[in-house]
Chain A
């Protein structure tokens, strides 16, 4: 379970998160939505432990990542987490194979044969085998997302974080990424957090939806509940209306 408890985060005088609390059950996927600049990516970085909150706590299972002082302690918790970044964040100097193998190689706990077998299995399951020797610059953005997903899944994480998985993709490739997420979830099973603007498409991978606005949670519930919510901000955001309580920044 991921438990976010009363998280506050400010940058200078700008309050980004102002007492966010939410819980995501094991094996469920929660999608965090909200207008740009509302702090969704900041929340994701706080969950990853690469940013420190001003106040509040975040638990990954039993482990409190906000209380982990040293990088070593944080890394022990991060080993349970996989991340698919917005731009896939692949390493340009490494091939597809090397990118996917990277987390296992760096952990230094697996033999070369074991790493090879795991990488081959993951590449095959995501239809990437024939691209294993290509460099990121030689493949399409959709393919890069797939490699990013393979890299995130290779360590069999308990928690998978998706930062706007469909940004910059056309609708067909976007749907392909959603299908991959669904397929991976049924195959590997993980607790997921998705940051997205893509409404209502993202609902197909969401068990719950959390909407952030003004540094607070303004809605938490199932996609169906979100769609039928009488909250004006939720309806404005869902239907992309200009008029309403949300002011475009």
Chain B
């Protein structure tokens, strides 16, 4: 009877302890990765390779998403603002939405889905095929060799892709707003110039850097600690995408609150 009562409590305790241990391990992991950035040897070539994988190969999908996001924002903005006779502000609505919110968030979610899952799967497969053990046996630190280039590339690529997303998104909004909905080109652009402040741009940049940090941390950590076999890689990849996406959205709320309250 006592055992029946204790068993669920024990299981609950084990789950909590596992979670706390995993949380601690992930912090040690990111701490080691950050320290490794500043210690030689520096592998610039690997960072460039990863920038190509994460950044260059993502440009097409980012451009495609951005153009349609901007277009949808223009249509929705024009519809909503027309109820108040304020369609002149459509350009502002498109630009501010993209710069402050949708640019960083949608770029991060797309990069997590495209490159984050690939990083987790690649490192996970390296783990289960003993390639990571092979690195260590050859006196090569896997954190430095595998994680640092991917982490740095994520940090660099994310703000650049976000900037690209915003520019292409505004262009998409312009084409639909001016070309299809008949808004004035001059008003569209002048409202953007008038309403977008430097703090808005900084807000987008800060968010994209933080999301780049989350992207690199989660996708590398999940791959490095992946379980056994194909199931382990599958689970790690799913967890990586879900965890990083949720972390981005939750962090976005807190960042928006802090940045709006203290820096706007």
**What 1/0 mask marks residues of chain A from 84 to 97 whose CB sits below 8 Å from any chain B CB?**
01110111100000
Q: How large is the interface on B (under 10, 10 to 19, 20 to 34, 35 or more residues)?
A: 10 to 19
Assess whether B141 is interfacial by the CB under 8 Å rule: yes
Who on chain B is nearest to A77 by CB? B139
**What 1/0 mask marks residues of chain B from 32 to 60 whose CB sits below 8 Å from any chain A CB?**
00000000010000000000000000000
Most A CB contacts (10 A, CB to CB) among B41, B136, B140 go to B136
CA distance A96 to B138 in the complex (A): 16
Q: Judging by beta carbons under 8 Å apart, are A85 and B136 in contact?
A: no
Assess whether A75 is interfacial by the CB under 8 Å rule: yes
- Give the contacts of B100-153 with A (CB-CB under 8 A): 129-131, 133-134, 136-141, 145
Question: In the assembled complex, which residues on chain A have CB atoms less than 8 Å from the CB atom of B137?
Answer: 48, 50, 78, 81-83, 161
CA distance A246 to B174 in the complex (A): 76
Closest 6 CB pairs of A and B: A75-B139, A89-B134, A89-B130, A83-B137, A78-B139, A103-B138
Q: Judging by beta carbons under 8 Å apart, are A87 and B139 in contact?
A: no
- Chain B nearest Cβ from A99, distance in angstroms: 10
Question: In the assembled complex, which residues on chain A have CB atoms less than 8 Å from the CB atom of B138?
Answer: 78, 102-103, 106, 155
Question: In the assembled complex, which residues on chain A have CB atoms less than 8 Å from the CB atom of B136?
Answer: 48, 50, 78
- Chain B nearest Cβ from A78, distance in angstroms: 4
Question: In the assembled complex, which residues on chain B have CB atoms less than 8 Å from the CB atom of A87?
Answer: 129-130
- Chain B nearest Cβ from A77, distance in angstroms: 9
CA distance A87 to B131 in the complex (A): 9
Question: In the assembled complex, which residues on chain B have CB atoms less than 8 Å from the CB atom of A108?
Answer: 41
- Interface size for A (C-beta < 8 A) is 26
Q: Judging by beta carbons under 8 Å apart, are A89 and B129 in contact?
A: yes
Q: Which residues of chain A have a CB within 8 Å of any CB of chain B?
A: 45, 48, 50, 71, 74-76, 78-79, 81-83, 85-87, 89-92, 102-103, 106-108, 155, 161
CA distance A75 to B139 in the complex (A): 5
Question: In the assembled complex, which residues on chain B have CB atoms less than 8 Å from the CB atom of A74?
Answer: 139
CA distance A91 to B46 in the complex (A): 14
CA distance A82 to B139 in the complex (A): 10
Q: Which residues of chain B have a CB within 8 Å of any CB of chain A?
A: 41, 129-131, 133-134, 136-141, 145
Q: Label chain A's interface by main secondary structure.
A: mixed
Question: In the assembled complex, which residues on chain B have CB atoms less than 8 Å from the CB atom of A79?
Answer: 139
- Beyond A50-B137, A85-B130, A155-B138, 4 extra complex contacts between A and B, CB < 8 Å: A48-B136, A85-B134, A89-B129, A106-B139
Question: In the assembled complex, which residues on chain B have CB atoms less than 8 Å from the CB atom of A103?
Answer: 138-139
CA distance A107 to B139 in the complex (A): 8
CA distance A45 to B140 in the complex (A): 15
Most A CB contacts (10 A, CB to CB) among B129, B130, B139, B140 go to B139
Question: In the assembled complex, which residues on chain B have CB atoms less than 8 Å from the CB atom of A85?
Answer: 130, 133-134
CA distance A83 to B139 in the complex (A): 11
CA distance A87 to B126 in the complex (A): 11
- Chain A nearest Cβ from B139, distance in angstroms: 4
Question: In the assembled complex, which residues on chain A have CB atoms less than 8 Å from the CB atom of B129?
Answer: 87, 89
Query: What are 13 of the A-B contact pairs (CB < 8 Å)?
Result: A50-B133, A50-B136, A76-B139, A78-B137, A79-B139, A87-B130, A89-B130, A89-B131, A89-B133, A89-B134, A90-B131, A106-B145, A108-B41
Who on chain A is nearest to B32 by CB? A71
Question: In the assembled complex, which residues on chain B have CB atoms less than 8 Å from the CB atom of A78?
Answer: 136-139
Question: In the assembled complex, which residues on chain A have CB atoms less than 8 Å from the CB atom of B141?
Answer: 71, 75
CA distance A75 to B141 in the complex (A): 9
Question: In the assembled complex, which residues on chain B have CB atoms less than 8 Å from the CB atom of A107?
Answer: 139
Who on chain A is nearest to B43 by CB? A106
Question: In the assembled complex, which residues on chain B have CB atoms less than 8 Å from the CB atom of A92?
Answer: 131
CA distance A129 to B54 in the complex (A): 34
Question: In the assembled complex, which residues on chain A have CB atoms less than 8 Å from the CB atom of B139?
Answer: 74-76, 78-79, 103, 106-107
- Chain B nearest Cβ from A195, distance in angstroms: 13
Q: Judging by beta carbons under 8 Å apart, are B130 and A91 in contact?
A: no
Question: In the assembled complex, which residues on chain B have CB atoms less than 8 Å from the CB atom of A48?
Answer: 133, 136-137
Question: In the assembled complex, which residues on chain B have CB atoms less than 8 Å from the CB atom of A83?
Answer: 134, 137
Who on chain A is nearest to B136 by CB? A50
CA distance A71 to B137 in the complex (A): 11
- Chain A nearest Cβ from B112, distance in angstroms: 22
- Chain A nearest Cβ from B141, distance in angstroms: 6
Question: In the assembled complex, which residues on chain A have CB atoms less than 8 Å from the CB atom of B41?
Answer: 108
- Chain A nearest Cβ from B20, distance in angstroms: 17
CA distance A96 to B141 in the complex (A): 21
- Chain A nearest Cβ from B8, distance in angstroms: 20
